[in-house]
Amino acid sequence: MSRSFQLTLIVFLAIFTVLGLITALARPATPQMTPICSSIMTPHLEAKISPGENLIYCASFQLAWNQLQDRIIRAPIQLSGNPRDAAILNCQQIKEDALPAGAYLAKAGQLTQDFLTALNRELKNKFGPNAPPEVKEPNARGAFLAYAYLYKAMTFPREFEALEEPIIFSAPDDNHIPVEGFGINRCHRNSDHQQLRQQVKVYDYRNENDFILTMAGRDQEDVLVLAKVKPCATLLKTIQTVEARIKKSAKNPTSLQEDETLQIPKIFLEMDVAYPQLQGLQILNKGWEGSRIAKARQWLRFKLDQKGASVKSEARIIIVRGALRPVRNYIFDRPFLLYLKKQGHSLPYLALWLETPAWFRVTGQQDNKNQP
């Protein structure tokens, strides 16, 4: 009987040596779709896996923390309240040697215009068109920035097939959602399928709901791991369990056989989060009294389809002595009130409550010259 490799549930997706591990919701191609489940971004791998939640991890924040710990504070970072996240980050589970040298830039220093200019120049020189937008932060006396940027594109040696029919993804709330996918509709003996089959290694297949696959990139620098398994308590424990299974069966991995099916959901995710469990906390290390973490943010964009996987991520940690003046933005991109009145009067002669953009000028729209 042929096995069916229909990945209707991704417990974890990892690009080793790039970012450790990402877990993500399988989604249709339209990124604007409301997520079926909530998604949580974690700064470390020891976060708990909870039913109904996607858990996302990227190593960029750990790289920025390492810079702060090693180059600025020069000791394990002690924070008020002794938060668990800080203790775990201080262990530096992921270091720079876990990533390809060309895939990241990590830097820390006093937050001055000279530092930002040098940082932006290095990013542009290293990543070219894939560099992030210019890094801008308000200069503040006594402030420091720890920064990390990660970019990696892993291309499959041969492009997989886009599936003609959707995958019916079974969400934890018993919803069955049709999502776009890629893979191999059904393996045949032709040369195209034979090459695609060789790109996939199968480890410790137990049944159609318990197996592990790996796929290597064209440059053989990274490996994508897809594991349809029962999760352990934490992300780290789940990875370690899968890695142990891979190691145990490493001597005899198999490939896809004739008439077997490979179906993987396409994934597109983008998240920009702050870590309130770290922001605002005082630094207790000797010599840093009166300092606090003013910003702890991370941004991630991840894509997986028949061509391969791509990762972009940025992390920023800012520490200041005293309060950092907030940068305020005045953007009318939600419903707002507008009115005109005579100076000294409390009631207007024109008032608008703008709930929709019906009367706004649409980008590219031509003026009506007949109107006053």
Q: What is the pLDDT of residues 277-335, one digit of tens each?
A: 999 999 999 999 999 999 999 999 999 999 999 999 999 999 998 655 555 678 888 88
Give the 3-state DSSP-derived string for the chain, with helices as H, strands as E and coil as C: CCCEEECCCCCEEEEECCCCCECCCCCCCCCCCCCCCEEEEECCCCCECCCCEEEEECCHHHHHHHHHHHHHHCCCCCECCCCHHHHHHHCCCCCHHHCCHHHEEEEEEECCHHHHHHHHHHHHHHHHHHCCCCCCCCCCCCCEEEEEEEEEEEECCCCCEECCCCEEEECCCCCEEEECEEEECCCCCCHHHHHHHHCEEEEEEEECCEEEEEEECCCCCCEEEEEECCCCCEHHHHHHHHHHHHHHCCCCCECCCCCCEEEEECEEEEEEEECCCCCCCEECCCCCCCEEEEEEEEEEEEEEECCEEEEEEEEEEEEEECCCCCCCCCCCCCCEEEEECCCCCCCCCEEEEECCHHHCCCCCCCCCCCCC
What residue ranges do the domains of the chain occupy? 1-328
Which is more confident, 224 or 363? 224
Going by their DSSP bridges, the two strands 308-321 and 144-155 should be labelled as: antiparallel
Average pLDDT value over all residues in the chain: 84
Q: How far apart are CA 106 and CA 150, in angstroms?
A: 9
CA dihedral defined by 156, 232, 64, 25, rounded to 10 degrees? 50
Q: Which two tokens stand for residue 50?
A: 């909870």
Q: How far apart are CA 337 and CA 352, in angstroms?
A: 6
- The mean-pLDDT minimum among 16-25, 126-135, 186-195 falls in 16-25
Q: 370 falls in which pLDDT band (50, 70, 90)? A: low
In angstroms, what is the C-alpha Rg of the chain? 25
Mean pLDDT of 349-357: 82
- Answer yes or no: is pLDDT of 121 > 90: yes
Which is more confident, 360 or 227? 227
